[in-house]
Amino acid sequence: MKILGIESSCDETAASVVEDGTKILSNVVVSQIDIFAEYGGVIPEVAARSHLEAILPVIDKALKDANSTWDDIDAIAVTHAPGLLGSLLIGTLTARTLAILHNKPLYATHHLKSHVYANWLEGSTDISFPILALVISGGHTQILYMKKHNDFKIIGTTTDDAIGECFDKVAKILGLPYPGGPSIAKAAEKGNPEKYKFPHPKTAEPLNFSFSGLKTAVLRAVQKDCGLPISHPSHDLKNHLTEAQINDFAASFQKTAIDILLEKLNLAKEQYEVRSILFAGGVSANSALREKAKDAYFPSPKFSGDNGAMVAAAAYFEIKDGKQPTDPYTLNIYPRIEIN
Ligand SMILES: Nc1ncnc2c1ncn2[C@@H]1O[C@H](COP(=O)(O)OP(=O)(O)OP(=O)(O)O)[C@@H](O)[C@H]1O
Ligand SMILES: [Mg+2]
């Protein structure tokens, strides 16, 4: 079964043709990183306009790269939740129109489910249930318990910032370029992870996360190290930091963030007997984390971030479980809705 997966929930316009949920025939991603590097973050209205410009050429290229025509496509899958409202609208309206035009069944998928299913791409067939899946992305930090395919129970979630957001905000404090995750990872390679000690936040629910305190702890430590008062504006701190300090702060922050993740994972493992551990979402590209969690599954780094292949994979496993297509005339978007 060949599915065209379309993704546009944040700042990547992506489309991919995937056969039987695992075999990638094409994968086209147009990122808006260059646009938002200047601003240090995503501007929703600009993101939506960029999706509008890119989406049809991206889909066209995905079909061409897969040596496919519309006749070869069995279904269209599209992200309808969660994400930026304008961004979701462009992807879903395009998918709805194409489904009607080419008379294809349309499947709406949840973005976090897609991140999890990136682990099945490229033929990782030895993943066995039950599973603990850690979704660590720009907007989410969740521990999911999966008894079987398409059966998700949220057993831990962030009570404030997402881990990816924390990487991005700490990078901003250190004056490292957007997106912060890869910049921190690169600087951390040259830094000392033991130089600064940051607290591991306590949460009322032990499996929940809190990252806003860690971000503030880095801010205070930078101000202190630079001999500046806590009222000193964060945007100016980069002018006071040496390269060695930046690298050490990046390494120490990254180590703390990874240690927190692994501590929560170990707690979850005590409570839930599982046979596989999966990581998913943009932060799962982090090589220091991959090094420390050797027994876990990770998507290939190019499928950690947003892409259309994971959308097609998620839809495939839902269809296999009997999911029915959505009416293209009424498909709705849900900017904020939990995975279920
Ligand atoms: N090597 C890395 N190390 C740490 N973080 C990383 C790395 N590469 C990317 N990231 C982070 O991953 C995040 C982007 O991931 P992703 O694209 O999955 O998020 P999103 O789609 O914006 O949010 P969500 O999936 O929650 O809706 C950013 O915060 C980015 O900094
Ligand atoms: Mg994402």
What pLDDT score does 340 carry? 86
Torsions phi, psi of 301, nearest 5?
Answer: -50, -30
Select from 97, 5, 90, 95 the least CA-distant residue to 48.
90
Closest residue CA from atom 20 of ligand 1: 138
Axis-axis angle for helices 85-102, 44-65 (nearest 10): 30
Unique residue bearing structure tokens 């306590």: 202
To test the pocket of ligand 1, the residue of 31, 117, 261, 283 to mutate (highest count of ligand atoms within 8 Å of its CB) is: 283
| DSSP assignment of 266-287 | HHHHHHS--SEEEEESGGGG-H
Task: Write down all domains in the chain, each with its CATH number in brackets.
Answer: 2-123+302-320 (3.30.420.40), 131-296 (3.30.420.40)
Residue pair 5/16 in contact (Cβ under 8 Å)? The answer is yes
Closest residue CA from atom 12 of ligand 1: 282
Q: Report which bound ligand comes closest to the CA of 11.
A: 1
Q: How far apart are alpha carbons 143 and 203 in whole angstroms?
A: 14
To test the pocket of ligand 1, the residue of 137, 211, 286 to mutate (highest count of ligand atoms within 8 Å of its CB) is: 137
What pLDDT score does 123 carry? 75
* 191 Cβ neighbours under 8 A, 6+ residues apart: 244, 246, 247, 248, 249, 250, 251, 252
Torsions phi, psi of 276, nearest 5?
Answer: -140, 150
**In this structure, which long-range contacts are made by residues 198-202, counting pairs with CB atoms below 8 Å and at least 24 apart in sequence?**
198/252, 198/253, 198/256, 200/256, 200/259, 200/260, 200/263, 201/260
Q: Please list the residues that pair with 14 across neighbouring strands.
A: 7, 29
Q: How far apart are alpha carbons 287 and 309 in whole angstroms?
A: 22
- CA of 81 from ligand 2 middle (Å) equals 11
Specify the 3-state DSSP secondary structure of 2. strand
CA distances from 276 to 120, 125, 128, 269, 295 (A): 13, 12, 6, 10, 9
Binding-site residues, ligand 1, Cβ < 6 A: 9-10, 83, 111, 115, 137-140, 164, 167-168, 179-182, 185, 281-283, 285-286, 305-306
Tens-digit pLDDT profile for the chain (340 aa)? 999 999 999 999 999 999 999 999 999 999 999 999 999 899 999 999 999 999 999 999 999 999 999 999 999 999 999 999 999 999 999 999 999 999 999 999 999 999 999 999 987 678 999 999 999 999 999 999 999 999 999 999 999 999 999 999 999 999 999 999 999 999 999 999 999 999 998 999 999 999 999 999 999 999 999 999 999 999 999 999 999 999 999 999 999 999 999 999 999 999 999 999 999 999 999 999 999 999 999 999 999 999 999 999 999 999 999 999 999 999 999 999 999 8
Residue pair 314/77 in contact (Cβ under 8 Å)? The answer is yes
What pLDDT score does 124 carry? 67
- CA of 262 from ligand 1 middle (Å) equals 18
To test the pocket of ligand 1, the residue of 87, 167, 333 to mutate (highest count of ligand atoms within 8 Å of its CB) is: 167
What pLDDT score does 176 carry? 98
CA distances from 41 to 12, 233, 286 (A): 13, 18, 20
